[in-house]
Every structure is written in structure tokens, then in C-alpha cells.
């Protein structure tokens, strides 16, 4: 660009490069255009305008140096823009492009005016002046323009590849550079002057996704920016002074994109505040808009005609067109997208804003159907449909309310929509729909009215169900008083309504705030009641809600007291409906955290059934089944039961899976079974210990920790445990190296495993060689009581070899251990006392303990434990001059 501008500007006789600009009409015109562009850019793209260029843009290209003949200084491999071009030249007003395709290096100058992009007549040979008059058509955007002008450009565009050729590169660079340079102009003059522009292969992520997904700039590119990007963008904008990332600056290429970026940072806190429970369905879908030249189905034209009548018809014609449109298969994507593509969505949404009830009904009936399509949902939100529908919720017309709520239920399947519903007061209005009983006062026609009111409430619940997937909406529902209403509706017997009601409750139950209310409002009782319903979907959601709530102990008891365990157990026998089975097994898992519940399950023969479900089930089911068995096997009787039913083998088989959640549960269950020697023998025979051991290499810390915990009972209960452990080549080294982890749970579990491993002298020797002492010592400075306890135990056990006692002292493990005595956890005290006892056999350690005030803290916390230790060592601990204090200081 600089080159082009340098050429186009008219210089004083003083010469090119160092010269000053002449005061000519042309220069003035260029400058004015530059200023106009630059000024409007800041307002149009505030985000991009903030970026400062701290370093020159560099990229590589496949073009060789000879391509940069005129205007560029070619230095080695780098092509530089000629130096000292004045700063203002970098401002973008016109884009000069070398059309490499036409070999002749013909320079043409696209210019932009209000209407769009056009080609200028360019520079005539042997003339210094450039003719800025328009030549040819005006194009609405630069891409269209370039496609038209440059064959190469359009060819590359159609290849859908990222091999941007030079002109694209350059164009982008210029396009991007302008605002930043402008922003930084004052303090970056010098650097700009020597703007080294090395061409480099681009790794422009954002641009790449955009280019591959869609060839035209589009408002739909948003899909390519994920939350992470947005967050980092927000961060970037704050840290703009510290440089700009190339890929981010690229975003200014498309106005649509820039606008979107602005949108995305508008409310960063909103984005972040959304609940993590939202799943993939939140991902806004990719737009598969058809290529313009693709064959359009006949429906497309028919729908286009109907939309024309919708636009130009009175109420009667509109209703006819709406009814006729409903005759198309609106569940089919072709029709859904056809309606959107011919501008039907705008009209349908506009109709909602009229006074014509019939038109509104007709429009909503269509919107309700087509909003099953994710792309349509997004368009509806983009077109501002949600606020209008939210307003309709206030209408006195019940069927209108119902349709609006049902459509909202469909649309609010992604985060932005849910947020829009909340921000326009939709949650309060939807909650108001639940309040149905109030309105049915006319006794004469009460039944009819009741049905209609129930329908209103059902639709309200349906919409709330969709909305409740966002954390902020759960909170809004609670604040709007939705919970008591949901609780009341739960007591009714309308199955259609119960499903969304239970669904909403189930979503909300993930929040602490709700769980307390769930206990108080007799929710559990009714959930249990509906478990007995005939409707499978209802059963599923009830079980799911119990699963969510049963994290809480009191709730687990309530499920039992209301007789919920029996239906859960009996639902296990029906394994055809996998969704329901997953929900039921999930509920059983959570409920079996309480021992009383496990007893009941054993009574109902649920444990045998669960063992039967260990094979041939989808992972969602397996996770829960294994989780439940893991809980059940905490009891001896159940361990025996599981073994007798042949449960060990399938459990061990599951150790080779890859599903994290499943592995965490399987390791726990296998560990629980290993507590019983007979089961342990089976596990050993099936090579289960080796499998557990290899899970220590799993990348996920939860799996590592769970596997290490499970290894403890295995080592404890295996015959010839020492020999078994030694048989795993590299196993001990692996365990010791896990002490370098930064996950507290992993560390605690590995310490526990080491405690067990170190029981065998030979193994202790090996792990000592692997450097267990310094690693354990390093961990000593921790506040985590769980880790403290197991660490102290491990240290105490590792003291049993060679000069490890002394080594712990040398590695400064003693002083921190003394401080563990300040903890409130008696387990920590016990383990620490044991460790200190072992360490105190070394005199230097005794001095350290003394210096760190072990004596000061020994009472009352130590007294119990110290009394168990030998007198000689207690003496050692207190030093020679001090006699042991009286054991009862109070």
C-alpha cells in the first residue's frame, strides 16, 4: 500500500523518499480520503483500532524475491518496503495491488467510496498522476471486487485453500496495519519507517477457519471463535501495549467479523458467568448455506412466493399464506432454510409485532416447527425475535402464550438465546405461566379452562426447561419464585406437564441453592411417586433429578423414606431404554453413598442386577453401574456378593477403557473389592494389579489418583505383595516419579501407595534408590491435611531403610512435619507423631524438632500418641536436659 501511495502522491521537486508532499488537489483528495477512512474506522471497529503494532508484521511467501521488483527493497530473503516513506502513507486510503496473475505487474487501484469498491483508471504510462475516476462496476465488498478483478484471486478463493497469494497477503496486511499504525503513529514513527515486512507463511487461524468454512465474508463466521478466543481477546485488548498477536489482528479483515468481535466482548463477564453444565448443543452450528449456483428445490420457489404474499398481503391473504406454508414439510431442512433464505424469518417475526392475533398464531406455528433447526434458532435470535416472543407471553390469548412459550423452548437451546430471554424479562413471565391454577375460577367451564391452563403451564415449563440450562437462568427462575410453582405442579398428575417440570427441576438441582429447597418442598416425595408412572420419559427425568439431588445425604435418606429405592431397583430390570437406564443407575449410584440405602438395595437384589449390567452397556450406563458397585463394595457382604455373582472379571476388564469418568469409578470399585483377600486373589489372577498400575500413566489426574488409591488395598491384601510389585518392570520408578505431580489428590494417593510398597524391605530399598526421600521431603511444606497425613505415613515408613532417617533431616523434612501438629485433623496428628517418632532416632532430627517447638505443641495433641511410644524415644525427643512433662497439663 505504501508503495502505491508513494507513487500516487505528488512530491515536491526535492525528490522521492525524503521529499515533502506538494500541495496539489490530488494529494489533498488522497489525504481527505485517508482521514475519512481512518476516522470512521475507529468508530466502526473500536476493538481493532485499539491494537498497536509493536513489531512489524512479518510473513513468508512462496514468491521469490524477484517478484518484488519495483518499490520494494529486496534484502536477502526479505522484501522490505522502501524506507522512509512518510508515516502517513501507511494510512490506508486506497489499496494498490499487484496483479501477479497478469504477469505485467499491472497496477490497478481499487478505491472505496460510500457505495463500495471499484476500480480506478489507475496510472497511465509515463504519468505521475493517478486517475481516481471510477472504471467499471461498484462492488459491495473487497472480496467480490478482487474476485472480479483478479482471476488468480478468485481461483484461490474457490480452491478453499489458505495459500494466500501475495496480493491477498498484502491486502490483508494493509487492511490490518492501517488502524494500528494510526493508533500508534505518534510513538512509533521511527519503527514504522523501517517497517520490515518479511513475507512468511501465514498461520492465520481465524482467517483460516473463515476461509475454509465459507468463501464469502459472512456474519456467520462467529462459529469459528470459541470462548477461549473471546476471553483471550478481551485480555488482549487490555494488554494491547504489550504487542499484538498476528492472528488476532487479522480479524479486522471483514467488517462483519469485526462487528462480531465487538459483540463478543460487549459482555465478557456474561459469557464467563454462564454455567459450565452447558454442553455441545450450545455450540452454535456451522452455517451450511447453499452455494448460490446449487440447484434449488422446487419448495424454495413456492416458499418464496408465499413469503411474497406474506409481505404484500392483508390479514386474509397473510393467513392463507401462513396456512399454506404449514403444508410444507417444516421438519425438513430444505424448507426451513428456504424460509430463511427468502427472507421469510424477518416477515414471520414482524408479524409477531402486529395486532393481528390470527397472523401471530399462524406465524408462531411455523416458527415453532422450524426452530428445531439450530441455524434457524440462531437467525431468530439475530433478528431480534426473542424479545417479541417474550412480550407475547403477556398476551391474554392463551393459545398465543402457549405457542410463544413453545417456540422460546425451541429457540433457547443455545447460550446467547437463553441470555436474551433472561435479559428481556422472559424468565419472570415464563414463571408466571406456571401459575395456572389461579385463573381457573369459573366453575361452569372449569374442566375446559383447566385443560387450557394446564397447557399454558406445560408450555411455560417447557421453555423454562430449555432456559434452565444456563446458570444465571437457574438463579433467575429461583428469584422469580419459580421453585414453589414447579413444586406445586409436580404434585399434579398431568404427565405431559410433569416431564418439563421434572426436567427443569433436574437442571436446577445442580445448584446448591435449589437442593435445600428441594428437601423442604416435598419434591423428593413426588419424584419418587412419579418414578412409578407409566411414562418412560417421566421416569427417566425423575431418576435424573434424584441423581442430581442425591449428592446430599439428607436427600438420600428422603429417597429411602419415601420408598424410592424399590422402584429404582425394579427399573434396573428394564434395559431397553438406555437413557432411562443411565438415569436410574445414576440415581442408584448416588443413593448408595448412604449405607442404609445399600442395605435396601441388597434386599431388593439390586446388586446382582448391577453386576449383570457390567457388560454390553453404553458407557453412560457403565459409569453409573460401576460407581454404584464401588459404593456398595465398601461393605464386606457386598464384596462377597459381587465376587459370587462373577462381578470381578467384568470390572477388571473395564480397566482397559479410555473413558475418564468410567476409569475413575472402575478403579474405585476394583480397589473396594481388593479389600477382601479372596477377591484380591481373583484380581491378581486376572492381572488387575498390572492394569491398575498402568493407569498411573493415564494423563488425567483423577484417574491417576484413583488408580493409586486402588493399589493400596491390592498391595495390602495380595499374597507375596512384594514380589508382585517388583514384577512390574519400571513400576516403582513410575510411582516415585508421580511424587513430582502438582495435583494434591495424586500426591496423597501416591504417598499412600508408597506407604504400602515400603512395607517390603526390598521394594523400600528400590524406591530409596529412585530418590523417594528427597521427593517426599520436598512435599513436606503443604497445608493440605489429606496429603499431610499420607505424606507423614510414607515418611514414617520410609525411615525404615538405611540412612533414610538422616536423609529426611538433611532434606529438611523435619521442621515442616513438626508444624503438622498444629493441624486440627487427628489423623494428621497420629501419622505425624509416628513419623516424628521414627525420625527422632536420629539426634540431629531431635534438635530440629526441639528448635521448631515440637515440645510446645506436644500437649494436648501429642499426649495420646506419645504415651504409646517408648520412653527412650520420648526422652530423645525432649532432649537430655528436659524431663518429660506431666501428661495432663490442663
Partner 1 sequence: MNRKKLQKLTDTLSKSCKHFNKFEVNCLIKLFYNLVGEVAERQGVVAGLDRNAFRNILHMTFGMTDDMIMDRVFRGFDKDNDGCVNVSEWVHGLSLFLRGSLEEKMKYCFEVFDLNGDGFISKEEMFHMLKNSLLKQPSEEDPDEGIKDLVEITLKKMDCDHDGKLSFADYEQAVREETLLLEAFGPCLPDPKTAEQALCPAPLLLLREAKSHRAGVIRICVCPQ
Where do contacts with partner 1 occur on this chain (CB under 8 A)?
Answer: 305-306, 308-309, 311-317, 319-324, 326-327, 355-358, 361-362, 396-397, 442, 445
Nearer to partner 1, 315 or 532 (CB): 315
- The distance of closest approach from Cβ of residue 459 to partner 1 in the complex, given in angstroms and rounded to an integer, is 18
- The distance of closest approach from Cβ of residue 253 to partner 1 in the complex, given in angstroms and rounded to an integer, is 38
Nearer to partner 1, 212 or 445 (CB): 445
- The distance of closest approach from Cβ of residue 320 to partner 1 in the complex, given in angstroms and rounded to an integer, is 5
Can you point out the beta strands (E) in 386-480?
none
Please report the sign of the dihedral spanned by the C-alpha atoms of residue 184, residue 185, residue 187, residue 189.
positive
Please report the sign of the dihedral spanned by the C-alpha atoms of residue 416, residue 417, residue 421, residue 427.
negative
Nearer to partner 1, 268 or 313 (CB): 313
User: Taking phi first (over 0 means left), then psi (-120 to 50 degrees means alpha), and beta for anything else, what does residue 628 get?
Assistant: alpha
- The distance of closest approach from Cβ of residue 441 to partner 1 in the complex, given in angstroms and rounded to an integer, is 10
Nearer to partner 1, 393 or 772 (CB): 393
Nearer to partner 1, 306 or 461 (CB): 306
- The distance of closest approach from Cβ of residue 364 to partner 1 in the complex, given in angstroms and rounded to an integer, is 11
Using DSSP's 3-state secondary structure scheme, residue 6 falls into: helix
**For residue 394, how many other CB atoms are within 10 A of its CB?**
12
797, three cell numbers: 515408613
- The distance of closest approach from Cβ of residue 383 to partner 1 in the complex, given in angstroms and rounded to an integer, is 22
Nearer to partner 1, 339 or 614 (CB): 339
Contact by Cβ (8 Å): 230, 89: no
Give the CA radius of gyration of the chain: 36
- The distance of closest approach from Cβ of residue 214 to partner 1 in the complex, given in angstroms and rounded to an integer, is 33
Q: How far apart are CA 705 and CA 695, in angstroms?
A: 9
Q: How far apart are CA 178 and CA 87, in angstroms?
A: 11
Q: How far apart are CA 528 and CA 545, in angstroms?
A: 10
Q: How far apart are CA 610 and CA 554, in angstroms?
A: 24
Residue 538: its H or E element: helix 536-549
Report CA-CA distances (Å) from 583 to 461, 529, 537.
21, 16, 10
Q: How far apart are CA 766 and CA 824, in angstroms?
A: 34
Nearer to partner 1, 117 or 328 (CB): 328
- The distance of closest approach from Cβ of residue 340 to partner 1 in the complex, given in angstroms and rounded to an integer, is 21
Beta bridge mates, 123: 130
237, three cell numbers: 485488548
Report CA-CA distances (Å) from 728 to 225, 700, 767.
46, 21, 13
Q: How far apart are CA 490 and CA 877, in angstroms?
A: 66
Nearer to partner 1, 310 or 464 (CB): 310
- The distance of closest approach from Cβ of residue 439 to partner 1 in the complex, given in angstroms and rounded to an integer, is 12
- The distance of closest approach from Cβ of residue 446 to partner 1 in the complex, given in angstroms and rounded to an integer, is 12
- The distance of closest approach from Cβ of residue 452 to partner 1 in the complex, given in angstroms and rounded to an integer, is 12
DSSP 736: H
Residue 219: φ, ψ to 5°:
-70, -10
**For residue 404, how many other CB atoms are within 10 A of its CB?**
31
Short-list 127, 172, 122, CA closest to 146: 172
861, three cell numbers: 495433641
Residue 207: φ, ψ to 5°:
-60, -35
Return the biggest CA–CA distance within the chain. Answer: 110
The b-or-e profile of 577-612 (16+ CB within 10 A means b, else e) is eebbbbbbbbbbbbbbbbeebbbbbbebebbebbbb
Nearer to partner 1, 364 or 386 (CB): 364
- The distance of closest approach from Cβ of residue 506 to partner 1 in the complex, given in angstroms and rounded to an integer, is 35
Nearer to partner 1, 105 or 331 (CB): 331
Nearer to partner 1, 324 or 741 (CB): 324
Q: How far apart are CA 749 and CA 278, in angstroms?
A: 31
- The distance of closest approach from Cβ of residue 391 to partner 1 in the complex, given in angstroms and rounded to an integer, is 15
Q: How far apart are CA 649 and CA 667, in angstroms?
A: 13
Nearer to partner 1, 310 or 708 (CB): 310
Nearer to partner 1, 149 or 319 (CB): 319
Amino acid at each position: 500500500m505504501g508503495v502505491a501511495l508513494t507513487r500516487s502522491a505528488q512530491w515536491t521537486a526535492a525528490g522521492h523518499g525524503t521529499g515533502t508532499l506538494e500541495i496539489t488537489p490530488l494529494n489533498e483528495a488522497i489525504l481527505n480520503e485517508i482521514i475519512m477512512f481512518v476516522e470512521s474506522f475507529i468508530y466502526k471497529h473500536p476493538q481493532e483500532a485499539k491494537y498497536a503494532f509493536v513489531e512489524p508484521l512479518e510473513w513468508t511467501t512462496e514468491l521469490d524475491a524477484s517478484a518484488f521488483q519495483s518499490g520494494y527493497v529486496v534484502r536477502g530473503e526479505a522484501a522490505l518496503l522502501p524506507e522512509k516513506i512518510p508515516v502517513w502513507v501507511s494510512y490506508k486510503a486506497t489499496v494498490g495491488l499487484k496483479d501477479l496473475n497478469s504477469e505485467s505487474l499491472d497496477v490497478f487501484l481499487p478505491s472505496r467510496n460510500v457505495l463500495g469498491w471499484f476500480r480506478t483508471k489507475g496510472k497511465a504510462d509515463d504519468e505521475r498522476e493517478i486517475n481516481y475516476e471510477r472504471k467499471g462496476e461498484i462492488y459491495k465488498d473487497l472480496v467480490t471486487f478482487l474476485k472480479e478483478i483478479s482471476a488468480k484471486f478468485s481461483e484461490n478463493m474457490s480452491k478453499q485453500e489458505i495459500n494466500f497469494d501475495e496480493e491477498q497477503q498484502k491486502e490483508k496486511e494493509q487492511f490490518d496495519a492501517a488502524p494500528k499504525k494510526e493508533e500508534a503513529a505518534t510513538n512509533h514513527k521511527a519503527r514504522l519507517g523501517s517497517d520490515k515486512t518479511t513475507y512468511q507463511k501465514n498461520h492465520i487461524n481465524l482467517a483460516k477457519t473463515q476461509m475454509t468454512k465459507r468463501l464469502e465474508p459472512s456474519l456467520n463466521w462467529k462459529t469459528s471463535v470459541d470462548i477461549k478466543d473471546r476471553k483471550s481477546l478481551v485480555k488482549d485488548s487490555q494488554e494491547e501495549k504489550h504487542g499484538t498477536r498476528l492472528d488476532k489482528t487479522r480479524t479486522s479483515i471483514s467488517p462483519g467479523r469485526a462487528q462480531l468481535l465487538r459483540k463478543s466482548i460487549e459482555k465478557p463477564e456474561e459469557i464467563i458467568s454462564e454455567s459450565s453444565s452447558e454442553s455441545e448443543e450450545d455450540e452454535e452450528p456451522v452455517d451450511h448455506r447453499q452455494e448460490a449456483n446449487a440447484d434449488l428445490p422446487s419448495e424454495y420457489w413456492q416458499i418464496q412466493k408465499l413469503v411474497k404474499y406474506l409481505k404484500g398481503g392483508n390479514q386474509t391473504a397473510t393467513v392463507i399464506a401462513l396456512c399454506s406454508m404449514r403444508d410444507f414439510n417444516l421438519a425438513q431442512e430444505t424448507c426451513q432454510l428456504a424460509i430463511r433464505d427468502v427472507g421469510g424469518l424477518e416477515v414471520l417475526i414482524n408479524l409477531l409485532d402486529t395486532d393481528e392475533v390470527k397472523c401471530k398464531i399462524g406465524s408462531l406455528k411455523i416458527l415453532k416447527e422450524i426452530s428445531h433447526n439450530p441455524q434457524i434458532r440462531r437467525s431468530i435470535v439475530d433478528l431480534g425475535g426473542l424479545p417479541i416472543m417474550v412480550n407475547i407471553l403477556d398476551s391474554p390469548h392463551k393459545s398465543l402464550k402457549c405457542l410463544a412459550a413453545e417456540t422460546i423452548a425451541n429457540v433457547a437451546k443455545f447460550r446467547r438465546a437463553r441470555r436474551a430471554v433472561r435479559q428481556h424479562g422472559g424468565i419472570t413471565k415464563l414463571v408466571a405461566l406456571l401459575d395456572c391454577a389461579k385463573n381457573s375460577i369459573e366453575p361452569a367451564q372449569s374442566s375446559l379452562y383447566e385443560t387450557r391452563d394446564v397447557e399454558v403451564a406445560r408450555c411455560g415449563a417447557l421453555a423454562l426447561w430449555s432456559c434452565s440450562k444456563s446458570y444465571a437462568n437457574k438463579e433467575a427462575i429461583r428469584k422469580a419464585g419459580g421453585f414453589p410453582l414447579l413444586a406445586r405442579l409436580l404434585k399434579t398428575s398431568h404427565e405431559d406437564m410433569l416431564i418439563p417440570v421434572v426436567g427443569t427441576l433436574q437442571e436446577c438441582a445442580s445448584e446448591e441453592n435449589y437442593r435445600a429447597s428441594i428437601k423442604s418442598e416435598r419434591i423428593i416425595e413426588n419424584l419418587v411417586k412419579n418414578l412409578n408412572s407409566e411414562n418412560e420419559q417421566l421416569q427417566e427425568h425423575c431418576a435424573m433429578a434424584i441423581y442430581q439431588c442425591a449428592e446430599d445425604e439428607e436427600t438420600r435418606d428422603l429417597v429411602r423414606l419415601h420408598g424410592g429405592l424399590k422402584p429404582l431397583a425394579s427399573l434396573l430390570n428394564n434395559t431397553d431404554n438406555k437413557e432411562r437406564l443411565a438415569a436410574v443407575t445414576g440415581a442408584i449410584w448416588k443413593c448408595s453413598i448412604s449405607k442404609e440405602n445399600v442395605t435396601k438395595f441388597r434386599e431388593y437384589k439390586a446388586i446382582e442386577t448391577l453386576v449383570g449390567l457390567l457388560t454390553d452397556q453404553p458407557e453412560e450406563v457403565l459409569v453409573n453401574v460401576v460407581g454404584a458397585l464401588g459404593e456398595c463394595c465398601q461393605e464386606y457382604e457386598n464384596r462377597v456378593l459381587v465376587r459370587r455373582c462373577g462381578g470381578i472379571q467384568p470390572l477388571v476388564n473395564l480397566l482397559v477403557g479410555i473413558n475418564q469418568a468410567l476409569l475413575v469409578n472402575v478403579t474405585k470399585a476394583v480397589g473396594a473389592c481388593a479389600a477382601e483377600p479372596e477377591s484380591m486373589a481373583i484380581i491378581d489372577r486376572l492381572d488387575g494389579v498390572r492394569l491398575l498400575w498402568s493407569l498411573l500413566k493415564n494423563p488425567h489426574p483423577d484417574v491417576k489418583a484413583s488408580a493409586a488409591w486402588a493399589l493400596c488395598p491390592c498391595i495390602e491384601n495380595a499374597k507375596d505383595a512384594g514380589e508382585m510389585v517388583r514384577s512390574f518392570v519400571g513400576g516403582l520408578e513410575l510411582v516415585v516419579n508421580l511424587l513430582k505431580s502438582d495435583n494434591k489428590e495424586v500426591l496423597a494417593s501416591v504417598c499412600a501407595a508408597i506407604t504400602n510398597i515400603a512395607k517390603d524391605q526390598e521394594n523400600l530399598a528400590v524406591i530409596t534408590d529412585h530418590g523417594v526421600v528427597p521427593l517426599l521431603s520436598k512435599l513436606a511444606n503443604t497445608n493440605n491435611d489429606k496429603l499431610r497425613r499420607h505424606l507423614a505415613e510414607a515418611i514414617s515408613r520410609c525411615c525404615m531403610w538405611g540412612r533414610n532417617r538422616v536423609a529426611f533431616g538433611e532434606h529438611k523434612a523435619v521442621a515442616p512435619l513438626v508444624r503438622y501438629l498444629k493441624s486440627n485433623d487427628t489423623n494428621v496428628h497420629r501419622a505425624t507423631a509416628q513419623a516424628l517418632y521414627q525420625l527422632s532416632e536420629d539426634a540431629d532430627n531431635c534438635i530440629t524438632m526441639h528448635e521448631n517447638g515440637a515440645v510446645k505443641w506436644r500437649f494436648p495433641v501429642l499426649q495420646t500418641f506419645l504415651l504409646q511410644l517408648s520412653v527412650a524415644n520420648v526422652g530423645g525427643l525432649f532432649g537430655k536436659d528436659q524431663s518429660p512433662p506431666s501428661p495432663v497439663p490442663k
